[in-house]
Chain A
């Protein structure tokens, strides 16, 4: 073995190693593409082999070109992980798989990562597949596109082999060329979505069904059945009803094949169909069942028609105002249902007509729409010829196309969605349309004409100077220079820059991300080169989430776990710190509203309970977080156990409680009407247990009520109470409101009882503490005014009376 050859082998190895490092998945996509070409070529005559190779290689080259354009387009938004330039479902799927990857690989993650990883939306096998690819091969936004492109070409190749045996080589070649270069299918085939995988699985299912029906050996049939099962399993959760529609389509195809096989079966089938239609039409329950099904489809259609975008209508106008209301008023009638089905079928083929194009995208789509019209017409024309050539394959295709078309036609109402989903049918229509085209050509005469002139001479030189192939190669290399430049840019993502950080209002979107956990703060970052995959940290605590808006702005949601103080705001791209705003986030412990919490310390040991003192303070970072204003006596703890809507109390022997009035603060909250302390929202009516801010070790308090942080005004009020003598006789001088602790100087006490003239009525003179409010006075949280109600609750009774007079001691 010569040294020269070994040198070449090493050089080849270095190049391969370099490419594998840059994008390992690209190598997989390339190998898959090569295998597809090799597989399709096998057993073909030389001429056909060359032609099919040309079509497949050109199709793959076109996909590589589209992916390259997408890559260049996305350069301004690219980051170490994100491909940039992603929108809609593509962005979601890519981001979700990357976030799951980060969790699996132990990279720094935040709550949002877990939420997206376990989101119910789009929880399909394809999401798992995408995650596996990203985990195994690293972030590969463009290689996944190439892989999907190769899978689409593989699916087309499978259909080509089926069609070739069924309808002949030329029809199959024509179908293959149209399918691989139809613009919308070309673009969808290199998306990050499931379209290519779905097509490969359905093509495999149809091919396996044909092999199963035709297989000469038992082993072949078993293999086809196994492949059929695996493909069906893969298809199961990719789209709603995928298995039902696919199996239904194949069953319909087999039924068509069997029925059209003999004239007598055809006649019997036609008679049975006619009879069934007559029976159904004359039977009220049967009509109701059919109408119920169509109403369900109509509801889906109305939903689509009312989504943003360009919609179209197939129902009578009355259904579009208030679908449910209209149905309740008058259900769908048979004539309306008939019109709906006819219009839906027509719209499925014709929408959007060229003059209906409403957007630039739809205008761009017109040429392909014309191609679709041609395909549909040729498919109708070629049906008979296709059936004559291969009844089984033609029937299976017609059955599958028929079922999918019916489902899509009835439920769709949006032009964009229809165009995209019609691709599911178009990829099978083209094979029958190709047969139609062949039949049409056979009936026509070929055009004769002279050859075209050329600037290339007989020696193959352009303008007599340079060989054509050399010129093309030079042009190709020259084209590589800008490509190399943009590739260099691709691996040199611009570093994010933070210009400013400012507080921002919390909306329902952030509360959804927080999923019930309290949000302390939301800040808006303004800067440059921000990307969706960045993660924010406040100091050394991960933020709840970084939500990307534009490359120049994004929001950071900060949770309760960030301690008070001044912190840096840091952005990470994966594990790498890419931007930092020093001291940008300030969290002040006492920024909330001061209050007095009335209740009792709970879950204390006896020693701690007895060691508490009035005036004891609790501090955070040197700032006062809480202070004991009054203390009651120590006693066994009463555990309040909620049993909605009420609760039960159990006295414990192992923990102790002590009544307290505590001065503290409600934490800053997006909802200014509620009081939240350390993540617990204090609700009126039921006691809440809070962790005393700044307590160490942690101390807890059961809060029965909150009051303003000020001494109450003493008031004397006269309350008229009416009731039976037995109740009134229970009320005694010195009775106190037992809803509040004894240490609470607001609680009402009875000072005097006066009998009025009328029987069953007494006047109580009570002393109580009231707080000034904007609308008058309040006794704890209840409004207190002459003429208003007042309830006195003691251990013996609960008396409801009316305030007849009140005197405030302003001193």
Chain B
């Protein structure tokens, strides 16, 4: 038995460790039974039920709405407290949102063959291999 396993074993057998473990398990189970937990799960399921293209489109809608809301609310913000982010950034963000809405399906399809996705997958793979050492 490695020292890590020994420590883990000791922690699990301790009163605090067992209590914490039991509390966490109960919290997890109760969360599923609670009204809010159920609503969140339902929301998660609803999101899972959408296609990747639909998901991208919804993200685009949220982005555009957020930028417009921000621009409107800034009109009521005192001049002295306003951020000085260049307005080109807002335009770029809106453009990104609109791109997501318009090209959602095409982007979702293109993601499978993208270089970025391959790099991320490769990095994930090497991390997983390294974690085996611990």
Q: Are A451 and B22 in contact (CB under 8 A)?
A: yes
- Give A572's nearest chain B residue, CB to CB: B80
Q: Mark B27-60, 1 if CB is under 8 A from A, else 0.
A: 1011101111100000000100010001001110
Q: Are A18 and B34 in contact (CB under 8 A)?
A: no
Which of A6, A165, A452, A469 gathers the greatest number of chain B CB atoms within 10 Å? A469
Chain A residues within 8 Å of B70, by CB: 17, 20-21
- Given A20-B70, A42-B124, A574-B79: A467 in contact with B19 (beta carbons within 8 A): no
- Give A460's nearest chain B residue, CB to CB: B30
Q: Are B7 and A80 in contact (CB under 8 A)?
A: no
Chain A residues within 8 Å of B57, by CB: 1
A105 at the interface (CB under 8 A from B): yes
Q: Mark B1-38, 1 if CB is under 8 A from A, else 0.
A: 01110111111011100110010001101110111110
Within the complex, the shortest CB–CB distance from A478 to chain B, in Å, comes to: 14
B130 at the interface (CB under 8 A from A): yes
A516 at the interface (CB under 8 A from B): no
Which of A9, A16, A45 gathers the greatest number of chain B CB atoms within 10 Å? A9
Which of A48, A137, A170 gathers the greatest number of chain B CB atoms within 10 Å? A170
Within the complex, the shortest CB–CB distance from A38 to chain B, in Å, comes to: 11
Which listed segment binds B: A442-450, A737-745, A784-792?
A442-450
- Give B62's nearest chain A residue, CB to CB: A13
User: CA of A139 to CA of B84 in the docked complex: distance in angstroms?
Assistant: 10
Chain B residues within 8 Å of A447, by CB: 13-15
The listed residue (B15, B50, B80) touching A139 by CB distance below 8 A is B80
The listed residue (B10, B33, B46, B80) touching A575 by CB distance below 8 A is B80
- Given A168-B134, A446-B13, A470-B34: A17 in contact with B80 (beta carbons within 8 A): no
- Give A14's nearest chain B residue, CB to CB: B69
User: CA of A168 to CA of B4 in the docked complex: distance in angstroms?
Assistant: 7
- Given A13-B62, A164-B134: A446 in contact with B35 (beta carbons within 8 A): no
Q: Are A438 and B35 in contact (CB under 8 A)?
A: no
User: CA of A6 to CA of B58 in the docked complex: distance in angstroms?
Assistant: 6
A439 at the interface (CB under 8 A from B): yes
User: CA of A88 to CA of B29 in the docked complex: distance in angstroms?
Assistant: 49
Q: Mark A454-482, 1 if CB is under 8 A from B, else 0.
A: 00100110000001111001000000000
Q: Are A43 and B130 in contact (CB under 8 A)?
A: yes
- Given A17-B70, A446-B9, A469-B30: A439 in contact with B63 (beta carbons within 8 A): no
The listed residue (B7, B18, B68, B82) touching A17 by CB distance below 8 A is B68
Q: Mark A365-396, 1 if CB is under 8 A from B, else 0.
A: 00000000000000000000000000000000
User: CA of A136 to CA of B129 in the docked complex: distance in angstroms?
Assistant: 41
User: CA of A18 to CA of B68 in the docked complex: distance in angstroms?
Assistant: 10
- Given A12-B62, A438-B3, A467-B34: A137 in contact with B85 (beta carbons within 8 A): yes
Chain A residues within 8 Å of B62, by CB: 9-10, 12-13, 16
Q: Are B84 and A136 in contact (CB under 8 A)?
A: yes
Within the complex, the shortest CB–CB distance from A404 to chain B, in Å, comes to: 28
- Give A45's nearest chain B residue, CB to CB: B131
Q: Are A446 and B14 in contact (CB under 8 A)?
A: yes
User: CA of A105 to CA of B81 in the docked complex: distance in angstroms?
Assistant: 11
- Give B34's nearest chain A residue, CB to CB: A469
Q: Are A6 and B61 in contact (CB under 8 A)?
A: yes
Within the complex, the shortest CB–CB distance from B62 to chain A, in Å, comes to: 4
Within the complex, the shortest CB–CB distance from B58 to chain A, in Å, comes to: 4
- Give B65's nearest chain A residue, CB to CB: A13
User: CA of A469 to CA of B24 in the docked complex: distance in angstroms?
Assistant: 12
Within the complex, the shortest CB–CB distance from B19 to chain A, in Å, comes to: 5
Q: Are B69 and A13 in contact (CB under 8 A)?
A: yes
Within the complex, the shortest CB–CB distance from A595 to chain B, in Å, comes to: 46
Q: Mark A130-162, 1 if CB is under 8 A from B, else 0.
A: 000001111100000000000000000000000
Q: Are A9 and B3 in contact (CB under 8 A)?
A: no
B127 at the interface (CB under 8 A from A): yes
The range of chain A's interface size is 35 or more
Q: Mark B99-112, 1 if CB is under 8 A from A, else 0.
A: 00000000000000
The listed residue (A24, A470, A574) touching B85 by CB distance below 8 A is A24
B83 at the interface (CB under 8 A from A): yes
Which of B3, B8, B61 gathers the greatest number of chain A CB atoms within 10 Å? B3
User: CA of A792 to CA of B127 in the docked complex: distance in angstroms?
Assistant: 97
A591 at the interface (CB under 8 A from B): no
Q: Mark B71-91, 1 if CB is under 8 A from A, else 0.
A: 011100111111111000000
Residues 1-36 of A contacting B (Cβ, < 8 Å): 1, 5-6, 8-10, 12-14, 16-18, 20-21, 24
User: CA of A460 to CA of B31 in the docked complex: distance in angstroms?
Assistant: 9
Q: Are B14 and A168 in contact (CB under 8 A)?
A: no
Within the complex, the shortest CB–CB distance from B4 to chain A, in Å, comes to: 5
Q: Are B7 and A442 in contact (CB under 8 A)?
A: yes
The listed residue (B7, B46, B59, B65) touching A14 by CB distance below 8 A is B65
User: CA of A377 to CA of B5 in the docked complex: distance in angstroms?
Assistant: 24
- Given A6-B58, A17-B68, A469-B30: A170 in contact with B130 (beta carbons within 8 A): no
Chain A residues within 8 Å of B130, by CB: 43, 165
- Give B69's nearest chain A residue, CB to CB: A17
- Given A5-B58, A168-B3: A105 in contact with B66 (beta carbons within 8 A): no
Within the complex, the shortest CB–CB distance from B89 to chain A, in Å, comes to: 10
Within the complex, the shortest CB–CB distance from A224 to chain B, in Å, comes to: 15
Q: Are A80 and B131 in contact (CB under 8 A)?
A: no
- Given A13-B62, A20-B66: A42 in contact with B35 (beta carbons within 8 A): no
Q: Are B66 and A14 in contact (CB under 8 A)?
A: yes
Q: Are A574 and B78 in contact (CB under 8 A)?
A: yes
Q: Are A473 and B36 in contact (CB under 8 A)?
A: yes
User: CA of A21 to CA of B124 in the docked complex: distance in angstroms?
Assistant: 35
Chain B residues within 8 Å of A451, by CB: 15, 18-19, 22
User: CA of A573 to CA of B80 in the docked complex: distance in angstroms?
Assistant: 8
Q: Are A448 and B19 in contact (CB under 8 A)?
A: no
Q: Are B124 and A43 in contact (CB under 8 A)?
A: yes
Q: Are B78 and A136 in contact (CB under 8 A)?
A: no
- Give B30's nearest chain A residue, CB to CB: A460
Q: Are B73 and A473 in contact (CB under 8 A)?
A: no
User: CA of A17 to CA of B66 in the docked complex: distance in angstroms?
Assistant: 4
- Give B63's nearest chain A residue, CB to CB: A13
The 10 closest A-B pairs by CB, nearest first: A13-B65, A17-B69, A43-B127, A574-B80, A460-B30, A446-B10, A469-B34, A16-B66, A13-B62, A21-B73
User: Chain A interface (Cβ within 8 Å of chain B)?
Assistant: 1, 5-6, 8-10, 12-14, 16-18, 20-21, 24, 42-45, 48, 80-81, 105, 107, 135-139, 164-165, 168-171, 438-439, 441-442, 444-452, 456, 459-460, 467-470, 473, 573-576
What are 23 pairs between A and B in contact, CB < 8 Å? A1-B57, A6-B61, A12-B62, A13-B65, A13-B66, A20-B70, A21-B73, A105-B84, A136-B83, A136-B85, A169-B4, A170-B7, A170-B8, A171-B4, A439-B3, A441-B6, A442-B6, A446-B11, A447-B14, A449-B15, A451-B22, A467-B33, A470-B34
User: Chain B interface (Cβ within 8 Å of chain A)?
Assistant: 2-4, 6-11, 13-15, 18-19, 22, 26-27, 29-31, 33-37, 46, 50, 54, 57-59, 61-70, 72-74, 77-85, 123-124, 127-131, 133-134
A21-B77, A576-B78, A576-B79 given; 5 more Cβ-contact pairs under 8 Å: A6-B61, A13-B63, A13-B66, A170-B3, A170-B7
